[in-house]
Structure 1
Amino acid sequence: MNKEKLRKADMYEVLEGKIVNKVRSLFCEKRNLVIRRCADEKQVSFIARSLGEMYKDGITINKAITLVGESVSHKEYKNSLKTIHSAIHNGKGLSEAFKECTPLYPELFIGLIFIGENTGKLYEILKRLGNFYEKICEIKNEVKMACIYPLFIIISIISFIGIFICKIIPSFYGIYNSMGITPSYFYRCVYNFQDNFTESYFVNMTYVLCWTVIWFMTIKFMISNGKFDFFLKVGLIKDVLEYITILIFSIITNSGINILHGLELCSNNIKPEFLNSKILEIRKSIMKGKTLSESLEESMLLSNYTLAVIKVREETGSIAEGFEILSIRLEGEIHKKIRNYLKALNPLLIIVMGTIVLIFISVFVLPLFKELQSGIR
């Protein structure tokens, strides 16, 4: 009887453990849906480059993953490398092992590694992947750094206008009334707006926030559904998209894989969605029998100079080298344009700040001094 009770107790413990694990896994899945993880280009670049160098030096992949895991400081990627190490130890291939950590490693990354495993070009592909994600990371960081100062100035302007409308205007309005001065029409309009806004502050703030969210969602919807043509009129955005396109084709052609297969791996793995849809269009165009240069021309992603270089390189059979040269040239142009935009934007923002201060002095301060002078006389 005691043995049977012990067996039942063990069975209940096992069943309870399974239920707990199932609940945990479901919770983790739901959490990942809410807090969506995505690949960190810096970490992916470091891992790909390090694995490639160690593999070239004759270190086994499993050992290389252990060594790279010791060098990675990012907690999620460190844990992912442990998972990959265990998967390879259990007999899985490198690409299959990376698949177990898909949110952290893009499918393009995994797909190209699979090709590298089967074509004997694993080192070349790992090296190219490392360079690719490093360049993407550099461009993102450059754009972020370029936006910090203008964003700070814009926030300062908005804060100044907010304080000006909510605090300064009511104070000056009270001074005008006490001195018997009739404020200007513009002053009265601003004061009435401020007065009406503060009367129903929470309602009006909710209204403003709702419209902000609506505009944000509309722009996001336009971008995700390919309605990106308006943004292509901005030179810097067009150059960045062109650069990413050239990088994608550079890694595909230099890895020695079929372009159609490479573009298939890219499908649904390129951001933004607009660029992803263009890549799919290029693939469909090539499948219809058109040349690469013709397909790229139809996409309207590349400049005339870039298309001319690709066409010449395609005819001479040096397309891979052509994409490599173009990527270096475009990278330099983007850095130069970002610096030029900053040079032009900074004085413009300072002029805006100065204009606001000038309007404040001329509309609100000078009339007060004039009345004071007339009172003294």
Structure 2
Amino acid sequence: MLFFYKAIDQSGNSKIGYIYAKSLEEAIEELAKQSIYPIEIIEEKEGLFSRVSKNDVILFLKNLGLLLELKIDAKKALEILENSISNKKLLIAIKEIKYELTSGKKLSEAFKKHENIFGKDLPILIEIGEETNKLGSIIQRYAQFLEESQNLISKIKSALAYPLFTLITAFFILYILMSYVVPQIAKVFKASKAELPFLTKGLIAISNFISLNISFILFIFLSIFSFLYFIKRKYRKKFDYALLKLPIFGKLIYLRELYNFFSYLSLMLNCKVNFKRAIEKALDLCTNTYIKEKLKRVSKKVLKGVPFSQALKEENFDELICSLVLVGEETAKLDKTLESLSNYFSTKINERITFLLKFLEPAITLFLGIIIGLIVIAIMLPLLEMSNLV
């Protein structure tokens, strides 16, 4: 439990801070040992929706790894870092870890209680770091992996954010035009009793349909999304295979899956995790079931004694992947080779994102230009005809 306290010390100076203890009585007792006498002490509770961001975790682990590299003991390193933590949930976790260390537990054991924040694999890597006396460097490598993965996710989100925002804004404007502007102009055309061009009649018909059936249209869209969600759950493998066949986006999904797998496998092997455990952990990062099943078959073959490169080749992975893995096996530097391979996929993803932006922006602009152009023409044609009659 984490307690916030207001207190005075032996000299009568005011003090405020946090202390972790199993009970209120233990917190008061611990403060008394430090000659601090609480005036007010309150248990800090996590907010209902409190969460720890990836960036907070990455920054904490990078700094922790650095301090451990500088030969500062774990308890002291946590004391230094907790003063700079603003996230309440993360602060509580650090206080609890420090308390466990004071109780005589290892750092790996203390971190196991906070897998919901730091992940299931960090305690395993910390345990290896404790055994090999490379704790600081291993935590820093893990933080670097998280940072690179987070940067990649941010780039993909940023690449999709602008086109998505443009489309949503454009459809909102089109809805306003079709539901409010066009009906008003249609009244003018109806009053003139002039023969309307086919394009204008079509525009008015669409406008009337949207105005009268907006609830039905929304229902259809929700039904489509619900159907796709159902299909995804029931036929996950076929759905994921179809995703890989999508133009432009399919290749991006494929590259992202391979980047996650090979970068994490490289990290695990670099930290001296045995191959069986390393490949199992790397498979957990795959979200596309079609690729995951292919890699699972690779894993089973490797565990039966088939060389990794050969198993990849039998599952029809790219020749470049198979060749680089073979080089890693022959030189006994598989972890370094896989690291180079993950860097290659990272570069390819960045190239694909750049291409995506170059393609999507003009494509969306052209599409919207055609739609708006047709609306303008449909409105202007009868107006021009009416002016000619006058």
Q: Which interval holds the TM-score relative to the shorter structure? A: 0.7 to 0.9
**Does the alignment pair 1:96 with 2:109?**
yes
d(CA) in 2 for partners of 1:225, 1:77:
37
**Counting strand residues as a fraction of each chain, which structure ranks higher?**
2
Asked if the contact 2:261–2:286 (Cα under 8 Å) also holds between the matched residues in 1, the reply is: no
Deviations 1:296-326 (A, max 9, x none): 34556x5321221111221221212212222
Question: For 1:125-153, what per-residue CA distance to the aligned partner results, in whole angstroms no more than 9, with x for missing partners?
Answer: 21220111010111011111112221121
**Separation (CA, whole Å) in 2 of partners of 1:246 and 1:196:** 52
Cα distance between partner residues in 1 of 2:294 and 2:221: 34
**Hey, what does 1:115 align to over in structure 2?**
128
Cα distance in 2 for partners of 1:344, 1:201 equals: 32
1:60 equivalent in alignment to 2:76:
no
Distance 1:94 1:115 in 2: 11
1:141 alignment partner, one of 154, 178, 183: 154
| Contiguous gaps of at least 5 residues in structure 2 | 1-44
Residue number in structure 2 paired with 1:319 = 334
Unaligned runs of at least 5 residues, structure 1: 1-26
The CA deviation at 1:193 is 4.4
Aligned 1:87-236 pairs, distance under 5 A? 87-199=100-212, 201-202=214-215, 204=216, 207-208=219-220, 210-215=222-227, 217-218=229-230, 221=233, 227-233=239-245, 234-236=250-252
Measure the CA separation in 2 of the matches of 1:77 and 1:279: 35
Distance change >3 Å, CA 123–CA 296, structure 1 → 2: farther
Alignment CA distance shift 1:296-1:84 (3 Å): farther
Where does residue 12 of structure 1 map in the other structure?
none
Q: Which digits, 9 at most, give the CA deviation of each residue in 1:96-121, with x for residues without a partner? A: 21222221121122322233333433
| Aligned residues between the structures | 341
1:289-328 to 2 correspondences below 5 Å: 289-297=305-313, 303-328=318-343
Report if the CA contact (8 A) 1:252-1:262 is conserved. Answer: yes
Q: 1:201: how far off? A: 4.3
More divergent stretch after superposition (355-364 vs 288-297):
288-297
CA RMSD of aligned residues (A): 2.9
**362, 367, 373: which one pairs with 2:377?**
362
Contact 2:261 2:283 in 1 (8 A): no
More RCO (CA 8 Å, sep 6+): 1
Instruction: Specify which of 283, 288, 293 is matched with residue 304 of structure 2.
Output: 288
1:253 aligns with 2:269: yes
Aligned-residue sequence identity (percent) comes to 23
| Counterpart-to-counterpart distance in 2, 1:136 and 1:222 | 29
Report the counterpart of residue 54 of structure 2 in structure 1.
Answer: 41
Q: Which one has a larger percent helix, Structure 1 or Structure 2?
A: 1
Question: Which SS does the other structure have where 2:219 is aligned?
Answer: helix
State the alpha-carbon separation in 1 of the partners of residues 176 and 341 from structure 2: 49
Instruction: Give the aligned partner of residue 11 of structure 2.
Output: none
Q: Deviations over 1:24-46 (max 9, x none)?
A: xxx999x6xxx696x74323322
